[in-house]
Structure 1
Amino acid sequence: MKTLQQLLDGKKYKEVISIAPHRPVFDALVVLAEYKIGALIVLEGQSLVGIFSERDYAREVILKGRSSKTTSIHEVMTSKVLTATPSDSVEYALSLMTEHRIRHLPVVVDGKVVGVLSIGDLVKETIAYQQELIKQLQSYIKN
């Protein structure tokens, strides 16, 4: 199975979309909509300090009656962020995300976020890997 670096290398958009923790939630929603993504990396300078997702918005802003224009990202973001390294396997990352029920996984090298993978990225790769394996096994059986 591939490494996370191989998946990142194959991604169409390699840019890490991020936002500063002091910005209002409304700004984050605009960026999420613009890029059609479900989460933003929260960076203080180059340091990963959190992740802000649609789940955070629903649970911490909407359900608590807060205003997206006056609430700062740092007030509602997830600050305990699980990360992976480029050398980790897709299988490892998928099990980590499944076990902790997260949908987005920052990939970090020396404290710097080099990419973000979604659960969809990992599932897509796992299906492709399994389909190729089935094809190889069918070919082996026929010969």
Structure 2
Amino acid sequence: MKINDTIGILLGCRPDKKVLSIDPDHSVYEALEILAQYNIGVLLVCKDNLLVGIFSERDYARKGILGGLTSRETKVSQLMTSPVISVSPKHTVDECMTLMTEHDFRHLPVVQNDTVVGVISIGDLVKWVISGQQQTIQALEGYIAGAYPS
């Protein structure tokens, strides 16, 4: 678990590989129901199996509520962030952390051959890096204690 590992490796290690999405013509209320049901903060917005946007709780709060829009009458397409920055499974953890930090977002779709294969969060990346650091610390402690394999 290293910072130069690919996102494909990270995605392969996650138990839940389901990617949730919504059509841009659905209501914001329907999107919020899905977010609440699955206890997540973002939904990919797909039209004809192509990624066209991303909808987050932040979008709803800043563009919907503050804009005076009602969730039942507003379409996801009106509040979603588009175009979407995405990465491929070949991008590294480090590249994704840099991209997310530079653009100030917390979720990043992973796309391969125009098909969404996953979504990663900044939390996923931080956990990955911490796990790698813990493994390094354990190996160094073993080396110091003389238990390091020859």
TM-score for the superposition, normalised by structure 1 = 0.95
Aligned to 2:48: 45
Percent identity, please. 49
Matching residue's letter, 2:71: S
Q: Which runs of 5+ in 2 are unaligned?
A: none
Aligned to 1:54: 57
Q: What SS does the aligned partner of 1:33 have?
A: helix
Aligned to 2:37: 34
RMSD: 1.1
Matching residue's letter, 1:31: I
Post-superposition Cα deviations, 1:18-57, rounded to whole Å, max 9, x if no partner, equal 0000001000000000111000000001111000000000
Aligned to 2:137: 134
How far apart are residue 137 of structure 1 and its match?
A: 2.4
Aligned residues between the structures: 143
Aligned to 1:17: 20
TM-score for the superposition, normalised by structure 2 = 0.91
List, as ranges, runs of 4+ consecutive aligned residues in structure 1 with deviation greater than 3 Å.
none
Deviates more, 1:116-125 or 1:3-12: 3-12
Question: How many Å separate the matches in 2 of 1:95 and 1:139?
Answer: 32
Q: Which runs of 5+ in 1 are unaligned?
A: none
Q: State the structure with more CA Rg.
A: 2
Matching residue's letter, 2:67: K
* Pairing 1:5–2:8 present: yes
